[in-house]
Amino acid sequence: LKRALVKIGMEETFHLRHGEVWMRRLAKSRGSEARELLQRCVDWMFPMTIEWFGLPDDLKRHSGQLDYKLKGLTNDQLRQVWMSSTVPLCEALGL
């Protein structure tokens, strides 16, 4: 299981980097069409992605998942980790 999780982690890192490279390319595009499309995609996906982390902590019970280490962080903590890298990237790209 550990080997499989390491492999999955590496693949997920690849996908993150690939997406970041393409976001940077599109944001630097000379034509406004690519940049506008990128902005529309961010506007569409950002709210949905925030929801992927589940209910806010004050609306959810975590004790079992956290107590048995099935989950390392609460939903709000995971959401904040994601936002701490995503928001600066979007700001740097002018999105």
Looking at residues 11-40, what average pLDDT do you find? Answer: 92
Q: Which of 85, 95, 82 is nearest to 28 (CA)?
A: 95
Q: Is the pLDDT of residue 16 over 90?
A: yes
Looking at residues 58-80, what average pLDDT do you find? Answer: 82
Entry pTM: 0.78
Looking at residues 47-76, what average pLDDT do you find? Answer: 83
Task: List CB contacts of 64: < 8 A, sequence separation 6 or more.
Answer: 70
Side-chain-side CA neighbours of 76 within 13 Å: the count stands at: 7
Looking at residues 61-76, what average pLDDT do you find? Answer: 79
Side-chain-side CA neighbours of 11 within 13 Å: the count stands at: 6
Looking at residues 27-48, what average pLDDT do you find? Answer: 91
